[in-house]
Structure 1
Amino acid sequence: MTLRFDGKIAIVTGGGSGIGAAISRQLSGEGAEVVVADLNPEAAEGIVDEIRAKGGRARHFTVDVADAGAVEQLVGFALSECGGLNLAVNNAGIEGVRKPTGDYPLDNWERVIDVNLTGTFHCMKYEIAAMLGRGGGAIVNVTSILASVGLPTASAYTAAKHGVVGLTKSAAIEYARMGIRINTVGPGWIETPLLSEYAELAKTRRLEALQPMGRRGTPEEVAALACFLLSDEASFITGSYHLVDGAYTAH
């Protein structure tokens, strides 16, 4: 594997499991020092230990991205402890309850929006400021296929993910001439802990039947695209929304 990120410093939120963990591993394997940020400190520490055992450089940081002050501290940690910030993957997210829109609990709506949409804004706000101080960088926001299609009983999650795509596009235009590229990746049905929410559906293999490729994706397949978008190979790509869904949304 080439060291595309040698000497780079990266933050990955939601880095303690699933897609975030796979991205953290690949960034480290390609030379980056990674701040694995997660609400679950044990999960983040586990990924850091795994990376270090393979000779990589990583640190963990406990953060709730819905808390702007905590996110500011996270970015400050990367600056003070690692020496800067070049790359960021804003992946932290929650699904929320499954209820029709008319019955959706207000407190759950607010929490899903706070984490998935406002949390991404918090991250970008402080990451961009840090990157401008170093002459630029690259950001990938992890959204979902539900940033382009709907899903019954998932109104909060769907609204938040649509919002992240709009946020990404606006910020990408703002900073295109300042050396910061910002893109978003939309995973489909990927084998992650979040998919456990659909365990009954998965057991019936209905998920596989919905996939033109006949299978679910892996976190590593999403990580491969995210890391490409962070790399200099994607130097003319910004403001884009890229699906990793096995043609699910092509129906």
Structure 2
Amino acid sequence: MVRASAIPLSGYLSPEEAAVPASGASLKGKSVLITGGASGLGASVSLKYAECGAYVTLADINEKLGESYAKELQAKGLHVQFIATDVTSWTSQVAAFKAAIAFSPSNSAIDIVLAAAGVFGVPFLTADEPAVSLENDPPAPNMVAVEVNTIGSYYTAKLAQLYFALPGSPPNSDKSLILISSLVAYFDIPLMSTYTASKFGVRGMFHSIRPMFADRGMRVNLIAPWIMETPLVTEWLKMFNAVGAPVGNTQDVITSAMRFADDPKVNGRAFACGPKRILDLGDDIEGEDAGKVMHGFYETELPGWDKMAAGLIGLMGI
């Protein structure tokens, strides 16, 4: 294996710079793997990448939805395949990566990986929690959010690092890993403790691996969406609407995913998507680990959030 040359981490982008759309010209003929690609944000980005000429592998646990969506995109003449994948299984993800590589025009490379698989999990507190006694042990909490969002993303990131370096890949080709975290990893939303912990894990991994990827000539960036219209958060959207909380725009995620895939100069950045616009979070030492941006976030992006948050708690009966 020929080791790619190290590449630099890039600097902060203003809101205007972060919102600049990418042409997608470089995606033509590239091999892409998207976990969670059968629905939600993963499906939206899959369509855009495929429209740019990429060979897209949808890796998702929902076989019915995945097969249907792949056929829909294939009917449009797009290069798309579906591979049933359980992201919590290392073996299953290995099979998905191999399938994506075999689907590539060269049958020997993978260029872009988007870790979009995610589940919401359950709240830390609920109104109907069982009474505690010494005679009956409490049930273990549901940890599926950590298993899918954190462990699954870790597996995806590690496999990307390994398969990006396949001998068949040109030594200086642009390899891009895009992680989906959430804005809950940057500030508190009531009762979302399990989901927050899982997405904070993705953020922590991003911090740790970006210099290692850069040293190997690979890019890694992160998208932190606000809550938006996806099957993942249907019930939460109802509550957000009830208290007048804003909802994000899926197009901001697509714009960010396009920029991270298409622009080789952007490396090691974390973009917030919503509720109003795309923001470079400055999640680095210079940006005080997103502290500078988040300091005024409530005033500029979420005025009145304290009242909305209190309303959410009230709706859940806690």
Given the alignment, which residue of 92, 96, 100 partners 2:121? 96
Given the alignment, which residue of 89, 92, 101 partners 1:79? 101
Cα distance in 2 for residues equivalent to 1:25 and 1:51:
7
Counterpart in the other structure of 2:218? 180
Counterpart in the other structure of 1:112? 145
Counterpart in the other structure of 2:196? 158
Given the alignment, which residue of 63, 70, 74 partners 2:92? 70
- Alignment map for 1:1-251 (pairs within 5 Å): 3-82=25-104, 83=107, 84-100=109-125, 106-109=140-143, 111-133=144-166, 134=169, 135=171, 136-204=174-242, 206=243, 209-211=244-246, 216-231=247-262, 233=263, 235-247=264-276, 250-251=297-298
Cα distance in 1 for residues equivalent to 2:252 and 2:75:
23
Q: Which moved more, 1:192-201 or 1:82-91?
A: 192-201
Give SS of 1:140's match. Answer: strand
In structure 1, the gaps of 5 or more residues are: none
Q: Kindly report the root-mean-square deviation, in angstroms, between the aligned alpha carbons of the 2 structures.
A: 2.1
Structure 1 residues 184-220: Cα deviation after superposition (integer angstroms, max 9, x where no partner): 101102111112121541452x2xx333xxxx23323
Please tell me whether the aligned partners of residues 36 and 47 of structure 1 are also in contact (alpha carbons under 8 angstroms): no
Counterpart in the other structure of 2:301? none
- TM-aligned CA distance change 1:156 to 1:243, over 3 Å: same
Equivalent AA in structure 2 for residue 241 of structure 1: A
Equivalent AA in structure 2 for residue 97 of structure 1: V
Cα distance in 2 for residues equivalent to 1:70 and 1:180:
24
Equivalent AA in structure 1 for residue 121 of structure 2: G
In structure 2, the gaps of 5 or more residues are: 1-22, 130-137, 278-293, 299-318
Equivalent AA in structure 1 for residue 159 of structure 2: Y
Cα distance in 2 for residues equivalent to 1:177 and 1:7:
25
Cα distance in 2 for residues equivalent to 1:88 and 1:196:
26
Cα distance in 2 for residues equivalent to 1:239 and 1:178:
13
Q: How many residues align?
A: 240
Give SS of 1:106's match. Answer: coil
- TM-aligned CA distance change 1:4 to 1:199, over 3 Å: same
Cα distance in 2 for residues equivalent to 1:223 and 1:105:
39
Q: Which moved more, 1:79-88 or 1:178-187?
A: 79-88
Structure 1 residues 51-104: Cα deviation after superposition (integer angstroms, max 9, x where no partner): 212211000011111111111111111123332210010010111112329x79
Give SS of 2:88's match. Answer: coil
Please tell me whether the aligned partners of residues 30 and 111 of structure 2 are also in contact (alpha carbons under 8 angstroms): yes
Which structure carries more relative contact order (alpha carbon 8 Å, separation 6+)? 2
Cα distance in 2 for residues equivalent to 1:5 and 1:140:
14
Cα distance in 1 for residues equivalent to 2:238 and 2:58:
31
Give SS of 1:168's match. Answer: helix
Equivalent AA in structure 1 for residue 213 of structure 2: Y
Cα distance in 2 for residues equivalent to 1:81 and 1:94:
27
- How high is the sequence identity, in percent, across the aligned residues? 25
- TM-aligned CA distance change 1:105 to 1:88, over 3 Å: farther
Cα distance in 2 for residues equivalent to 1:67 and 1:20:
19
Write 1 or 2 for the structure with the bigger share of helix: 1
Structure 1 residues 121-179: Cα deviation after superposition (integer angstroms, max 9, x where no partner): 10111111111122451011111111111222221110111111110121110020322
Give SS of 2:93's match. Answer: helix
Q: CA deviation at 1:20?
A: 0.5
Cα distance in 1 for residues equivalent to 2:139 and 2:188:
19
Cα distance in 2 for residues equivalent to 1:105 and 1:20:
33
Please tell me whether the aligned partners of residues 31 and 101 of structure 2 are also in contact (alpha carbons under 8 angstroms): no
Q: CA deviation at 1:107?
A: 4.2
Cα distance in 1 for residues equivalent to 2:249 and 2:72:
19
Give SS of 1:77's match. Answer: helix
Cα distance in 1 for residues equivalent to 2:139 and 2:254:
33
Please tell me whether the aligned partners of residues 3 and 29 of structure 1 are also in contact (alpha carbons under 8 angstroms): no
Larger radius of gyration: 2
